[in-house]
Amino acid sequence: MGRYTTILAGLTASLLSLTVCADSLPDRMAISEKTQAFMSAARSGDIAGAYERLKPVLGVEASPYEESARNAVAYFKRVTDKVGEPIAVSRVRTDVIAEDFTREIWLEKFEAAAIAWTFTFYQPHRNGWKLVGISYSTELDDLYQPLTAPD
């Protein structure tokens, strides 16, 4: 399960210049709601449905996204065969680059493992957020943060 999969990774100038017809999300609250709905579907085992929930706000070509969804379905079947069904999800953090990029990171927890999901949204003209990437990984080292002492 140490496999790292990046979907639609790296925004290139060619991807950014693509004209993609998609809805957009009005604000970061809507991003949080959409990613929470994705994680709810993923926790229930509906990976294909989770990807479908985000497709209307896709800001890049659909065919690589659809292929990534199929790969994710197969991957999570292997995961659940090994470690069982998901038991919970939790939002790890939200990272931003000004008003241009938002990245939400969620943890999908199993009894003996966890998978980090990363969702990246881009807003090129400050008129709505579009999904430009999803990744999932069992490599969690980058998610650790120092524990702050209570006051």
Instruction: Report yes or no: 31 and 133 within 8 Å, Cβ to Cβ.
Output: no
Say what the pTM is. 0.83
pLDDT at residue 8 greater than cutoff 50: no
Cα separation, 16 vs 21, in Å, equals 13
Model confidence at 24, pLDDT cuts 50, 70, 90, reads very high
The CA-based angle 7-108-137, given to 5 degrees, is: 35
1: how many CB neighbours lie within 10 A of its CB?
15
Task: Give the pLDDT confidence score for residue 2 in this predicted structure.
Answer: 45
SS3 readout for 3-53: CEEEECCCCCHHHHHCCCCCCCECCHHHHHHHHHHHHHHHHCCCHHHHHHH
Task: Give the pLDDT confidence score for residue 7 in this predicted structure.
Answer: 38
Domains of the chain, start order: 4-8+26-140 (3.10.450.50)
Reported as a single tens digit per residue, the pLDDT across 99-144 is: 999 999 999 999 999 999 999 999 999 889 999 999 999 999 999 9
The stretch 34-44 carries a mean pLDDT of 97
